[in-house]
Structure 1
Amino acid sequence: MIWLRKIALILHLLRGLLTCAVLFPWLGVESRQSHIRRWSRRLLRICGVTLEVQGLQPGQAMPHGAMVVSNHISWLDIYVINSWQPVRFVAKSEIRDWPVIGWLCGQTGTIFIERARKRDAHRVLHAITDVMLQGDLVCVFPEGTTTDGSSVLPFHANLMQAPISGGLPVQPVGLAYLDTATGQPTLAPAYIGDLSLLETLDAILRAPPITARLCFAPALTSTSASRRELAEAAREVVIHLSQGAHAYATELAGRVNAKGGMASTVDEGGESVESPTPHAPATAP
């Protein structure tokens, strides 16, 4: 039966291409997000993945204009998050050149960064700050790579300058993939080591039903002493969330927000960092 699900995935991908090419140029922001959410949820169903959200009240909305930070396990993470709430992702520029997938990412608002060019980080900081000030949610995976989900790597702090410069919140999210029957972590979605995307997809389709758990804590205010401190605080909260320890994560987020303090624009090496200049929010189409 796996081959039937693979055919369903191919047809679903073609439907996404058609939607982006024909409908998206004529749709407003809300309509695009509705299509992205439905398409992502359908993708999860085909893959045998069920979304479970913890830490949010039914119907509770996220703040407009925030940076979402999450641990990173799989390429599937993007569609799990978009099934909850479509966001704009920050991704390496190489993805833009991937056949089909790169084009789809561009059509759904992905912000690409050329990691080999140090100066490109400043351009991306400006872009992230601008779109968050317009009310968008921007999602980053600060680990910079994927893991098997058993641990959370140190967070890179560079992109944390964007919410600090814009005075915008950081929304921590913990992601975990669990065997639905046992509730234990499963490695099937992990996109790690020498595994290819197709190999990971095959593992997902062959695995028993999977639950993708998204766990939320209160948003962090971006008024820590530095972007490094903000990154470290966000990582500690995400660690608890990825383990399903929502109460501990909520308590920690409260302590971080109570600490407060003015944000610095000095990086770890002592050099000043150019802060993006906030622009007036643009009117959504």
Structure 2
Amino acid sequence: MNGTTAPSPWLPTAPCTPGRCAAHPEAAHPEAAHPASAHPASGHRPPGAAGAAGAAGSVRAVARLAAGLATVVLGVLLAPATGLLPTAVRIALVRHWLRAVVRAFGVHVRYEGEPGGGPLLVVANHVSWLDIPLIATVLPGRMVAKSEVRRWPVLGTVAALGGTLFIDRDGLRALPGTVRAMAGVLAGGGRVIVFPEGSTWCGRAGGRFRPAAFQAALDAGCAVQPVRIDYRPTGAAAYVGDDPLGTSLWRVVTTRRPTAVVRLREPFPAARHPDRRALAAAAQRAVASDTANLPPPSVHQRSRSRPASASSARTPA
């Protein structure tokens, strides 16, 4: 995702940068986007109103940031104790915690579609660090992440405790072993969650789905569930280039009403496609489409998703 070291030549590179893709002036001054709506009668704000609105926005942002960080730290502190609980209970608690983290940072979430049952390779576009809790809330499973994440303060510990499969993106020799590990989880009835673009993108554009991870679904004979994540405003949640995590957090909490829409596409059997490249292309088309494999919205649109199927009980949280 982010880093200051020079990337390997085979790694995907997104053209997105914080300055070009993540800037959103309405975050710090939300009233600037709709000046008339604040004072429709006069068309302008009385003296001091702008300063008061800015102060209120800053107080709200600080409160969100404090609440979000406190929720993260609380979960980390309680994580060792959850190891004594039954797997299904532990997964339920982790899901509630992740949902609480997202809400504490002020993000509103809408899910569309249904989580699939049984072993699944879950693949999604990658825009933000928020993608991870958003997916894990409704489709708990083993995440695939770059090895650098293991060294991140706090979040690295959380990822390791959650059973993340770490991949050395700079070493092609390690890739077959990672694919075998993914296939083993899937063959055992669990879920694996991967972002096949290989890097974060701003949300206005996306990268090509790399085919390697899809070999695990073919080897395990399981289904693939594509997931599309959109954010509004588009740039608020973007975590791209050398964007520091602290800057990204502040951008989210200073946005007036950041919203995430998570669309769960209908799962399809991996065996429907002859090889991993065809499978990757099919999954990418499903993610990119606005209408692919979606049930009627009147039935499935909701603010909260029902619990995922029992197969998630076999997936370490």
CA distance in 2, matches of 1:145, 1:113: 13
Q: In the alignment, which residue of structure 2 is the partner of 1:196?
A: 244
Residue 137 of structure 2 is aligned to residue 44 of structure 1: no
The runs of at least 4 aligned residues of structure 1 exceeding 6 Å deviation read 282-285
> Which amino acid letter does the alignment assign opposite residue 84 of structure 2?
W
Q: In the alignment, which residue of structure 1 is the partner of 2:224?
A: 170
The Cα offsets for residues 115-163 of structure 1, whole Å up to 9 and x where unpaired, read as: 2222211211121111112221111000001111112210110111100
Q: Is the 8 A contact 1:152 1:235 kept in 2?
A: no
Q: In the alignment, which residue of structure 2 is the partner of 1:70?
A: 124
Q: In the alignment, which residue of structure 1 is the partner of 2:277?
A: 228
The Cα offsets for residues 38-65 of structure 1, whole Å up to 9 and x where unpaired, read as: 1111111111112211123xxxx52221
CA distance in 2, matches of 1:150, 1:3: 28
CA distance in 2, matches of 1:284, 1:150: 33
Q: Which of 7, 11, 14 is equivalent to 2:73?
A: 14
CA distance in 1, matches of 2:205, 2:62: 33
Q: Which stretches in structure 2 are left out of the alignment for 5+ residues? A: 1-58, 295-312
Q: Is the 8 A contact 2:144 2:193 kept in 1?
A: yes
CA distance 1:197–1:26, change in 2 (3 Å): same
Q: In the alignment, which residue of structure 2 is the partner of 1:276?
A: none
Q: In the alignment, which residue of structure 2 is the partner of 1:213?
A: 261
CA distance in 2, matches of 1:239, 1:35: 32
CA distance in 2, matches of 1:199, 1:145: 18
Q: Is the 8 A contact 2:67 2:105 kept in 1?
A: no
Q: In the alignment, which residue of structure 2 is the partner of 1:265?
A: none
Q: How far is the alpha carbon of 1:284 from its aligned partner?
A: 7.7
Q: Is the 8 A contact 2:229 2:260 kept in 1?
A: yes
Q: Is the 8 A contact 1:28 1:284 kept in 2?
A: no
Q: How far is the alpha carbon of 1:80 from its aligned partner?
A: 1.0
Equivalent position SS for 2:213 = helix
* Total equivalences in the alignment: 238
Q: Is the 8 A contact 2:189 2:314 kept in 1?
A: no
CA distance in 1, matches of 2:74, 2:195: 27
What percentage of residue pairs aligned between the two structures are identical?
34
Q: In the alignment, which residue of structure 2 is the partner of 1:115?
A: 169
The Cα offsets for residues 239-276 of structure 1, whole Å up to 9 and x where unpaired, read as: 01xxxx22xx128xxxxxxxxxxxxxxxxxxxxxxxxx
Equivalent position SS for 1:250 = coil
Q: How far is the alpha carbon of 1:28 from its aligned partner?
A: 2.5
Equivalent position SS for 1:26 = coil
Q: In the alignment, which residue of structure 2 is the partner of 1:28?
A: 86
Equivalent position SS for 2:218 = helix
CA distance in 2, matches of 1:34, 1:212: 21
Question: What TM-score do the two structures reach when normalised by structure 1?
Answer: 0.79
CA distance in 1, matches of 2:170, 2:240: 21
> Which amino acid letter does the alignment assign opposite residue 235 of structure 2?
L
Q: Is the 8 A contact 1:48 1:205 kept in 2?
A: yes
The correspondence of residues 86-165 of structure 1 with structure 2, limited to 5 A, is: 86-165=140-219
Structure with bigger RCO (C-alpha 8 Å, 6+ apart): 2
Equivalent position SS for 2:64 = helix
Question: What TM-score do the two structures reach when normalised by structure 2?
Answer: 0.71
Q: RMSD over aligned Cα, in angstroms?
A: 1.8
Residue 285 of structure 2 is aligned to residue 250 of structure 1: no
Q: In the alignment, which residue of structure 1 is the partner of 2:29?
A: none
Q: How far is the alpha carbon of 1:186 from its aligned partner?
A: 2.4
CA distance 1:101–1:70, change in 2 (3 Å): same
The Cα offsets for residues 224-252 of structure 1, whole Å up to 9 and x where unpaired, read as: 12101110111011001xxxx22xx128x
CA distance in 1, matches of 2:188, 2:256: 41
> Which amino acid letter does the alignment assign opposite residue 5 of structure 1?
R
Q: Is the 8 A contact 1:142 1:155 kept in 2?
A: yes
